[in-house]
Amino acid sequence: MTQTEERTPTTTDRSPGEHALADALAQLKFAVDLLGYGDGLHQLLASARRETRVSIPLRRDDGTMEVLTGYRVQHNFSRGPTKGGLRYSPDVSLDEVRALAMWMTWKCALLDVPYGGAKGGVTIDPRLYSKGELERVTRRYASELQPVLGPDKDIPAPDIGTDEQTMAWIMDTYSVNAGYTVPGVVTGKPVSIGGSLGRSTATSRGVAQVALAALQHVRVAPTAATAAVQGFGKVGASAAQFLADAGVRIVAVSDQYGAVHASNGLDVVRLHEHVAVTGTVLGFADAEPMDPDSLLTLDVDLLVPAAVEGVLNAANAADVRATVVVEGANGPTTAEADQILRGKGVLVVPDILANAGGVIVSYFEWVQGNQAYWWSVEEVEERLHQRMLAGWTAVVESSQQLGITLREAATVIAVQRVAEAHQIRGLYP
């Protein structure tokens, strides 16, 4: 059961998804205006090539049935098959997925990965469902989208609420329907069935690498730096560990349940062990509980928002005291907050650069799968490091040459690459 969704206008009383889409469109308009593109090209870049909504009937373990809603937005095909995560969250909406798919297009182009952007989501709170129920949701979602997925069409990956097991279910469902094993239909899957070494921590490693480069840029040595990490999950937890390994003092972290603080620095290794046992950072013996919202305004050198969209906004941006903000999450800083932080002199490293490590190593996984030849973890991490630093250097140089922010520079570089690909290919028919 699929149908194409029409875009609905936003209102002044916007949902988080509508805010995210408005911000993505505003960033695109800035780049289009600076590059001097006409209205037609602007409209093409602003519009998703395909938007699909699917109904997902689910039989619960108790025998009752409910119907969930899933989305997949494929934003642009000009540079290759589309690529993007699949998230399970009660907050998933079509506008949110539209924004995330557009940001994925720019992310892939900025890091010179030969993909367009896509994103998917199911409006579900995975904490309220059994593993068997989540498997049935995943397989039905994949089955409904089978015609538009594929290693040369659109390649999902894990995101909020999903993991390598989710990708294994999608791969198996797609392969069973195809009649043969298709490992390249997803990335971020278990190594035992064709996943890449280094993929599980790739986003976090990239965030840490760019954060260290940004600290160096503002002349703060890692061993003298303090940091707060909002979101101790897939991205934030390992990013905190990599930063701590480099000598950064992690003074506060938070998760969906609360936050903890230690002015002398958290023992991140022991915190990982605590979370593995309890499921939350709360109750960690060597730290004090704190208000999670206050973490965002701590007096630190580095702030890493690594949870969800819109956490830095007009209400709290003026109180941010970090010198550098590195966006581990997608869209954590609203347009209003961006302007406020710019006025305060805060260096904001945008998500399409900072958290691109995941899609880079997803690309490596896809390449390895196509070649049936696997790289060592050292090869993966070295190639990731090269790509991240090349992206950082290009964005900083463009920012300085044009006198614009890092986010604006990153978007301009990416939009120009996508537009050039479209123009070279031409318009069919």
- Is 119 one of the catalytic residues? yes
Alpha-carbon gap, residue 29 to 298, rounded angstroms: 33
| DSSP secondary structure of 225-280 | -EEEEE--STTHHHHHHHHHHTT-EEEEEEETTEEEE-TT---HHHHHHHHHHHSS
**Cβ 354 vs Cβ 207: under 8 Å:** yes
Alpha-carbon gap, residue 380 to 44, rounded angstroms: 35
| Of residues 381, 223, 225, 188, the one with CA closest to residue 303 | 225
**Cβ 79 vs Cβ 417: under 8 Å:** yes
**Cβ 243 vs Cβ 208: under 8 Å:** yes
| Of residues 190, 186, 134, the one with CA closest to residue 165 | 190
Q: In what order do the strands lie in the sheet with 82-89?
A: 2-4, 50-59, 65-74, 116-123, 82-89, 154-158
Angstrom CA distances, 368 to 42, 69, 194, 364, 371, stand at: 35, 33, 8, 6, 5
| Of residues 278, 303, 223, the one with CA closest to residue 287 | 278
User: Look-up: residue for tokens 């710019």?
Assistant: 342
Distance of CA 242 to the CA centre of its chain: 18
Alpha-carbon gap, residue 52 to 256, rounded angstroms: 30
**Cβ 70 vs Cβ 144: under 8 Å:** yes
**Cβ 247 vs Cβ 208: under 8 Å:** no
Which of 29, 83, 107, 119 does the annotation list as catalytic? 119
Angstrom CA distances, 153 to 222, 381, 426, stand at: 42, 27, 19
Alpha-carbon gap, residue 124 to 196, rounded angstroms: 28
Would you name the residues annotated as active-site residues?
119
